[in-house]
């Protein structure tokens, strides 16, 4: 039987973990705009923030395309859901990046509609996506603040080779990816401590990302998982709809055996009694046809024992009756002789 594939209805709310990730990036991008406005004197810091904003613009542009494709109504999302603001804020113009406030407002509205309890339960049960989005956010945070920190500590140290924003960004990326070319490295204790933290975060990110990809490509597909869930639901429904039978106990079993034995014994006794009565009336010859089968079918052991007892009782009764008849007959003969 062909299985009908049911499409999931489109919704403005995407995956909960994904919405939180986009909301956090929106907050971080707005904070970067504030830092760029107040830290005009540091060219190295401006370069790091510019690179991060370029990364945010690429992510937000992909988010805009994703929402346009999956929205219930693309025109409604673009004109009434502030999709136009998402598009303009994703472009490379610095003056338009302030429109990212609308993206943050939408994420907050969606989270408020879901509710904190549903939000927390979804994060707990959807552990794969939650862990992936959390580590991606940590990677972005480490890339930005790790580069700023390592540059601030190392640029004025004796014998330092991380002296520019480009060096700091390169060192952080190479360290997060756990490649470690060795061309850039910290020379201070504080810089080495920051490098250690970057390494730990990088190992966690790539380990989780590898496991996520393995589960995505090698794990069961969505159709197989849905079919398994349908089978489980059908089994649960059938078990609920089936009438509950009383449990069979040892007491019930003993009562059943005893009832069966008594029924078999009574049936067998009735058959034997009928045969005996017929024999007594017709004489010692067996009135039952020779080709007739046994009068009593095979019975359980308890029924056979009861039948044997009944037969012995009938034989004893016949013997007593014969003795009584003989006694009555002898008494009658003696009386007749006395009269003669």
| Least confident segment among 133-142, 149-158, 283-292 | 283-292
pLDDT at position 171 over 90? yes
| Residue of 71, 89, 92, 93 lying closest to 81 (CA atoms) | 71
pLDDT at position 128 over 80? no
- Angle in degrees, CA 164, 90, 169, rounded to 5: 15
Most confident of 89-93, 111-115, 120-124, 155-159: 155-159
- Token pair of 185 as six digits: 């490295």
What contacts 24+ positions apart, CB below 8 Å, involve 50-55? 51/165, 51/169, 52/140, 52/143, 52/144, 53/29, 53/94, 53/97, 54/92, 55/140
3-state secondary structure 165-204: HHHHHHHHHHHHCCCCCCCCCCCCHHHHHHHHHHHHHHHH
Instruction: Name the band, by pLDDT with cuts 50, 70 and 90, for residue 227.
Output: low
Share above pLDDT 90 across residues of the chain, in percent, rounded to a whole number: 16
pLDDT digits (tens, 9 = 90+) for 37-55: 887 777 888 899 999 999 9
Mean pLDDT of the chain: 74
Residues whose CB is less than 8 angstroms from the CB of residue 306 and which lie 6 or more positions away in sequence, other chains included: 261, 262, 264, 265, 268, 269
d(CA 4, CA 223): 10
Collapsing DSSP states into helix, strand and coil, what is residue 246? Answer: coil
The conformation of residue 2, written as its DSSP 8-state character, comes to: P
Q: Can you tell me which residue has the tokens 């693309």?
A: 74
Q: What are phi and psi of 121, to 5 degrees?
A: -65, -40
pLDDT at position 325 over 60? yes
Q: Can you tell me which residue has the tokens 């308890």?
A: 302
More confidently predicted of 165 and 335: 165
Q: Compute CA distances 184 → 45, 49, 153, 168, 191, whole Å.
A: 19, 21, 14, 8, 12
Q: Can you tell me which residue has the tokens 């299985």?
A: 3
Strand segments (E) across 170-309 = none
- The model's pTM: 0.58
| Residue of 154, 137, 43, 63 lying closest to 103 (CA atoms) | 63
pLDDT at 224: 57
Q: Please report how many Cα atoms fall inside a 13 Å half-sphere around the Cα of residue 17, on the Cβ side.
A: 17
In this prediction, residues 77-87 reach a mean pLDDT of 85
pLDDT digits (tens, 9 = 90+) for 272-316: 444 444 443 344 444 444 444 444 444 455 556 677 778 888 888
Q: Can you tell me which residue has the tokens 């939180």?
A: 20
């Amino acid at each position: 039987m062909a299985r009908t594939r049911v499409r999931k209805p489109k919704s403005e709310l995407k995956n909960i973990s994904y919405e939180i990730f986009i909301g956090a990036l929106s907050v971080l991008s707005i904070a970067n705009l504030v830092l760029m406005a107040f830290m005009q004197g540091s060219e190295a810091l401006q370069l790091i923030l510019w690179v991060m904003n370029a990364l945010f613009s690429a992510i937000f542009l992909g988010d805009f395309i994703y929402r346009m494709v999956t929205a219930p109504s693309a025109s409604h999302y673009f004109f009434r859901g502030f999709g136009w603001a998402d598009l303009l804020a994703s472009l490379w113009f610095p003056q338009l990046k302030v429109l990212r406030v609308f993206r943050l407002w939408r994420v907050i509205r969606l989270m408020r509609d879901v509710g904190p309890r549903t939000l927390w339960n979804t994060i707990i049960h959807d552990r794969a996506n939650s862990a992936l989005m959390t580590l991606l956010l940590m990677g972005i945070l480490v890339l930005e603040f790790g580069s700023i920190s390592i540059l601030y500590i190392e640029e004025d140290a004796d014998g330092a080779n991380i002296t520019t924003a480009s060096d700091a960004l390169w060192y952080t990326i190479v360290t997060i990816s756990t490649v470690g070319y060795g061309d850039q490295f910290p020379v201070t204790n504080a810089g080495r401590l920051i490098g250690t933290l970057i390494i730990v975060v990088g190992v966690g990110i790539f380990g989780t990302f590898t496991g996520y990809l393995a589960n995505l490509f090698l794990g069961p597909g969505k159709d197989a998982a849905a079919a398994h869930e349908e089978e489980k639901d059908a089994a649960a429904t059938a078990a609920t709809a089936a009438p509950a039978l009383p449990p069979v106990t040892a007491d019930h079993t003993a009562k059943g055996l005893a009832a069966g034995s008594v029924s078999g014994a009574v049936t067998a006794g009735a058959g034997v009694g009928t045969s005996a009565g017929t024999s007594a009336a017709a004489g010692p010859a067996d009135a039952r046809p020779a080709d007739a089968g046994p009068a009593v079918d095979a019975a359980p052991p308890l029924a056979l024992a009861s039948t044997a007892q009944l037969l012995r009782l009938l034989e004893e009764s016949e013997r007593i009756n014969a003795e009584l008849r003989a006694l009555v007959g002898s008494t009658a003969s003696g009386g007749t002789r006395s009269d003669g």
